[in-house]
Every structure is written in C-alpha cells, then in structure tokens.
C-alpha cells in the first residue's frame, strides 16, 4: 500500500499536470471505486477547476474551485457542493494523466476528462481504492477523515512523545494506527524503528521519552529520504510519470526476512505485529 512518501511523490508529480485544469467530464466505470455521495462525483465535479494537489496521511487530495457562473447561486446547497476530491490508493490504485482520446485500460475505474484535452485515469487492479467527492457536510460526517492523526513530518517532537509515552500497545502497532499518526505503514515503521534501535514489539509506554524523541527524528529522516527517492516500489507502485521509486534499494530490514543485518551481521528476526509481517534485528534493536 502506498504510504506517505509514495502519495507525496504522486501528488507533487500530478500538480504541474493538473493545476488550473478544468474537469469537463467524469466517467465512472466501476461503482465500488466511489465512496460517499456517488451523485456528487458524477454530476457536480464536472466544470470545476483543479486548484491544488496535495497529501494528507495516505490520502491524495485535489482542491476544486467553484465555477464563476455558480459563485452567487449554486445548483445545490453550499454544504453539499464538492470542495475536494479525495483518493485512497489502497493496495494497487494509480493516478496517471494520458493524452486526448486514450481509451481506458482494463483496470481503469474512473476517468476525468480535462480542459487541455488530457485524461486523468484512476486505475485500480484490486478495486480496494476509492475516490470521494468532499463537501463541507462530508468533512463533518466522514469518520475516517475526522479521526486522522497528526502528520509525522510537521508534529513537534514533544507532541510526538506525548502521543506515545502513555500507550500500552506495542510501538509498531501504534505507529501503524492512522488515528494516532497519519501516513506511516509497514515499510516506514520497520525502517524507522531499526534506525532508532527500538524493538517493534516493545510497549510504547516502556520506551523512554528520550528514545521516543529519537524515534521521531528517525521517522522524519526516513520519510524525507524516501520522498527524495520517489518512494519505494515493491509491486504496483509507480509515480505520476509511471516511474518506479528507488528507496527499496535502501531498506535495512523491511522485506529482508532471514537475511543478515547490514549493521551487525546477525540474522534478522520476523514477527507478526498488528497483523503485519515485521522484520527487526534483536542485536541492534534492544
């Protein structure tokens, strides 16, 4: 599943291709790829200009303008009018811009025809991802959005420590909880914990505040490095230009079950934490 660095990379790649483009038509090819108010996406997104593309947690967001002809009077109540498109890519979702009249591919779920003649495809082989048209009423009613935790790259270290130091759950499970901290998944939790020298199965409340502060520093280092490397490509992930990321070449523990630790040479251990395969070094992570 694309995590914070992958979604950040996709958003920054799409921004110059989509900014100031008007969505002229929305074609929904798979109903289950739409979450929330289907009617809003199908009927009230066309005619809207994309003003910004960015990320929140693992969500990719597109801000939409209100057409000039509707500035004083909207066809629906203002609280119902879409302000954003929110995409969750889940396991295999992709967003690519294609030339005019490019036909949909086998796994294309939603098509957005743009004013410059290009087409934005939301492709999703496994059909787990979704697009949601977000209006003011959605911000109040969408529990997933309301419960998203703070961003790991912008939260202050003292606030990060306060989030975790009283939690009894294992630190890896806490890092994966999007209600606690938004954007981190299996890859970057494993890599950050290794660099901080913290066992992933250690209860968060048994980790010193000093070590929690170090963990926050390492999380930011790992995420920033991964963004510079355009993310990690394991199976399906590609950026907005169709290119693979390169951070997988820097993995120290993730996906290296049974291999030797690159720091101390001892065999890496594997454990299931929060339902996810977790790789760590018993010698380096004490």
Q: Give the CATH number of the domain where residue 24 resides.
A: 3.20.190.10
Considering the domain architecture, whether residues 86 and 40 belong to the same structural domain is answered as yes
Is 190 part of a structural domain of the chain?
A: yes
Instruction: Provide the domain limits for residue 209.
Output: 157-280
Considering the domain architecture, whether residues 13 and 72 belong to the same structural domain is answered as yes
Is 152 part of a structural domain of the chain?
A: no
Active site includes 80?
no
Active site includes 2?
yes
Considering the domain architecture, whether residues 8 and 140 belong to the same structural domain is answered as yes
State which of 117, 146, 175 marks the end of a domain.
Answer: 146
Of residues 2, 5, 82, 152, which has the active-site annotation? 2
Considering the domain architecture, whether residues 111 and 165 belong to the same structural domain is answered as no
Active site includes 229?
no
> Is the CB of residue 134 less than 8 Å from the CB of residue 32?
no
Of residues 3, 6, 8, 35, which has the active-site annotation? 3
Q: Give the separation between CA 191 and CA 202, rounded to whole angstroms.
A: 15
pLDDT for residue 66: 76
Count helices and strands (H / E) in the chain. 8, 10
Q: How many domains does the chain have?
A: 2
Q: Give the separation between CA 236 and CA 200, rounded to whole angstroms.
A: 26
Considering the domain architecture, whether residues 125 and 23 belong to the same structural domain is answered as yes
Q: Is 145 helix (H, G, I), strand (E, B) or coil?
A: helix
Considering the domain architecture, whether residues 132 and 176 belong to the same structural domain is answered as no
pLDDT for residue 67: 67
Considering the domain architecture, whether residues 190 and 256 belong to the same structural domain is answered as yes
pLDDT for residue 76: 67
State which of 146, 167, 198 marks the end of a domain.
Answer: 146
Considering the domain architecture, whether residues 120 and 201 belong to the same structural domain is answered as no
Is 285 part of a structural domain of the chain?
A: no
Considering the domain architecture, whether residues 92 and 167 belong to the same structural domain is answered as no
State which of 119, 146, 173 marks the end of a domain.
Answer: 146
Q: Give the separation between CA 79 and CA 77, rounded to whole angstroms.
A: 5
Q: Give the separation between CA 259 and CA 266, rounded to whole angstroms.
A: 8
Is 286 part of a structural domain of the chain?
A: no
pLDDT for residue 1: 76
* Model confidence, pTM: 0.93
pLDDT for residue 137: 81
Considering the domain architecture, whether residues 126 and 248 belong to the same structural domain is answered as no
pLDDT string in tens for the chain (286-residue length): 799 999 999 999 999 999 999 999 999 999 999 999 899 899 889 989 999 999 999 999 999 987 666 666 666 666 677 889 999 999 899 999 999 999 999 999 999 999 999 999 999 999 999 999 998 888 878 999 999 999 999 999 999 999 999 999 999 999 999 999 999 999 999 999 999 999 999 999 999 999 999 999 999 999 999 999 989 987 777 878 888 788 999 999 999 999 999 999 999 999 999 999 999 999 999 9
Torsion, Cα 283 229 235 248, to 10 degrees, reads -20
Q: Give the CATH number of the domain where residue 172 resides.
A: 1.10.8.50
pLDDT for residue 73: 66
Considering the domain architecture, whether residues 40 and 125 belong to the same structural domain is answered as yes
Is 95 part of a structural domain of the chain?
A: yes
Is 166 part of a structural domain of the chain?
A: yes
Of residues 37, 48, 55, 58, which has the active-site annotation? 58
Is 274 part of a structural domain of the chain?
A: yes
Active site includes 58?
yes
Q: Which two tokens stand for residue 83?
A: 């302000």
């Amino acid at each position: 599943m694309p995590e914070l660095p992958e979604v950040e990379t996709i958003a920054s790649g799409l921004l110059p291709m989509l900014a100031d483009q008007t969505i002229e038509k929305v074609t929904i090819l798979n109903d289950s790829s739409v979450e929330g108010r289907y009617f809003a996406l199908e009927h009230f997104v066309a005619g809207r200009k994309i003003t910004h593309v960015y990320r929140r947690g693992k969500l990719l967001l597109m801000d939409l303008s209100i057409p000039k002809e509707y500035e004083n009077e909207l066809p629906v109540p203002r609280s119902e009018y879409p302000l954003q498109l929110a995409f969750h890519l889940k396991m295999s979702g992709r967003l690519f811009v294609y030339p005019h009249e490019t036909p949909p591919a086998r796994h294309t779920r939603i098509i957005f025809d743009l004013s410059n003649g290009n087409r934005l495809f939301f492709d999703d082989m496994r059909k787990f991802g979704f697009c949601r048209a977000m209006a003011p009423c959605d911000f109040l009613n969408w529990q997933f959005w309301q419960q998203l935790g703070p961003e790991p790259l912008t939260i202050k270290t003292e606030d990060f420590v306060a989030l975790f130091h009283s939690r009894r759950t294992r630190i890896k499970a806490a890092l994966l909880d999007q209600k606690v901290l938004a954007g981190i998944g299996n890859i970057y939790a494993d890599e950050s914990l290794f660099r901080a020298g913290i066992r992933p199965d250690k209860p968060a409340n048994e980790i010193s505040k000093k070590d929690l502060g170090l963990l926050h520093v390492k999380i930011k280092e790992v995420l920033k490095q991964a963004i510079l490397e355009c993310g990690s490509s394991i199976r399906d992930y590609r950026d907005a230009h169709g290119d693979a990321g390169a951070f997988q070449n820097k993995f120290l523990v993730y996906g290296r079950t049974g291999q030797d630790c690159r720091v101390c040479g001892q065999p890496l251990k594997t454990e299931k934490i929060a339902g996810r395969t977790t790789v760590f070094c018993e010698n380096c992570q004490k």
